[in-house]
Structure 1
């Protein structure tokens, strides 16, 4: 596949016009139009509707652009990697992590790691667990941290966190008076739910259905940090991962144990058939130390 044709498609999607793409590429509009025609012919997909000098992306174009963007990210990463090798920084590490760990936990790990290895750079991509799977399987990163279960192959996994979810409630909420919250205590409560892309959502739905407990779920999110902020605003209660719970430093949010054992399972992942560099093990050691130090602070 000719990358110049893909680049033309990508820039047309970004600018919205052939004229804008032509200016960005330093080519004539007719040349860009011919590139677009060639790409459609190669892919056998109609990418744009032409109407009175305008190009309107088809649904197929919208479906394709995400993969094209990822491909260009990989190419850019390759250029960065080559520069690192030229400059003697080949030990730099690239990782991908789910948001529950990427917002607060991984920066703490990076701090611990950088204090021990100031000459080694780390790039952290915060992605959904599904995207972390994909990036690790495609060798786009050397290390991933994501929620199980996984749907893909092409990587090896080891358990990193296997602890129960805990309940975050507003300090003024009636449940804050309890040390242990039972599933029946949540009957008719406003529960801030995970979106369907989070494995815990399915577990919770099955749990409440089996127990015959109805909750009010009008708010959903895929990030534990957002859940905590919503609890602070008294929008409901939320089941969050234990690492985010320990890192919660908000006096308006308290953490309580939940009687039903809803497991938070996060695994570390590395590509198969790849050379595992020592820098990966060094970073993992820091991650495990930080994990253990935080979990030791649990007061619920």
Structure 2
């Protein structure tokens, strides 16, 4: 037996009669004449193969079959309404998930600030921010465990799309340090100073070491850390001075710390990574634009 061919108009007429209890009331809601509603009901009964209403004492009374059918219709239409709502929210970018993998330089301070402002403008959007070393960030993007990645690696990797961002370095100083009186700090100013260093494999550490060696400068190296945040906290406690990125530095300004531009170019570049073969969602594109805007507006 063939499945009944049901039109939206037939189902609307049935729904309105069930709600109103009369053909006249349904006709008013549907903005059509009463005979039109009656015709739609008869067509629906014919297509379904069973009666929907009985007339008793001048009133329409739904049959048991009609009540069962109406219960299922309400369930289906409720699901369709949820589907329409979901489509609208996707269209208006309120829904969807965003997975971000980032190196600590960005993942600990700057990206949370961007994400906090971003989610306020994107309703119920779900976002996940994970922090890893650059090697893991690159792997996350390649395997599409992350929609976006921020890493010091990946600029020449053919498996991902990349956008380069340049970072100028700054010098963090205890607020009472003599170098605070200078407008800028140079390589030569590091001579004899207690310099907080990063791990030997860190690109910033390696670039700074090359410049220090070329300038024949000898800073005091007593403390070594893994993260810029650790270096900044040590500076705030008078543990030495540190060369760090301006993104992390700005979070410590005023906390017994002074920030001065570092005139040497350490070549600090990080990359925004996206999967090469996977189109970006609207949510991901919007986040990238928000990141760019906040990054380029950042001043130290």
1:189-220 residue CA offsets vs partner (Å, 9 max, x unmatched): 11111113421111011111111111222222
Measure the CA separation in 2 of the matches of 1:153 and 1:217: 39
Verify the 8 A CA contact 1:137 1:153 in the aligned structure 2: no
- Measure, in 2, the Cα distance between the counterparts of 1:150 and 1:224: 22
Q: For the residues of structure 2 that align with 1:90 and 1:197, how far apart are their CA atoms?
A: 40
Give the match for residue 235 of structure 2. Answer: 231
CA RMSD of aligned residues (A): 1.9
Secondary structure of 1:228's match? helix
C-alpha distance 124-223 of structure 1, shift in aligned 2 (>3 A): same
Contact 1:246 1:294 in 2 (8 A): no
Could you say what secondary structure the match of 1:239 adopts? strand
Is residue 2:136 matched to residue 1:97? no
Q: Distance in 2 between matches of 1:210 and 1:236?
A: 22
Offset at 1:244? Answer: 1.3
Question: Counterpart of 1:198?
Answer: 202
CA 1:166–1:124 in structure 2 vs 1: closer, same or farther (change >3 Å)? same
Structure 1 residue 292: deviation in Å? 2.5
Asked if 2 retains the 8 angstrom alpha-carbon contact of 1:168 and 1:253, the reply is yes
Q: 1:130 aligns with which of 130, 135, 145?
A: 135
**Over residues 8-61 of structure 1, what are the superposed CA-to-partner deviations in whole Å (9 max), with x where a residue is unaligned?**
xxxxxxxxxxxxxxxxxxxxxxxxxxxxxxxxxxxxxxxxxxxxxxxxxxxxxx
What does 1:113-152 align with in structure 2 at a 5 Å threshold? 113-148=118-153
Residues 293 and 129 of structure 1: is their aligned pair in 2 closer, same or farther, counting only changes over 3 Å? Answer: same
Aligned partner of 1:249 in structure 2 is: 253
Displacement of 1:178: 1.2
- Report deviation, 1:250: 3.4
Mapped partners of 2:202, 2:160: distance in 1 = 20
Equivalent residue for 2:278?
A: 274
TM-score normalised per structure 2: 0.65
SS at match of 2:298: helix
Change (3 A) 1:157 1:151: closer
Q: How many residues align?
A: 208
Computing the radius of gyration from Cα coordinates, the structure with the larger value is: 2
Q: Distance in 2 between matches of 1:179 and 1:243?
A: 19
Mark the runs of 5 or more structure 2 residues left unpaired by the alignment: 1-89
What TM-score do you get using the length of structure 1 for normalisation? 0.65
Q: What is aligned with 2:111?
A: 106
Equivalent residue runs for 1:25-174 within 5 Å: 91-148=96-153, 153-159=158-164, 161-174=165-178
Distance 2:223 2:189 in 1: 19
C-alpha contact 1:109 1:286 (8 A) present in aligned 2: yes
Flag structure 1 segments of 5+ consecutive residues without an equivalent: 1-87
Contact 2:155 2:163 in 1 (8 A): no
C-alpha spacing 1:91/1:116, structure 2 compared with 1 (3 Å): same
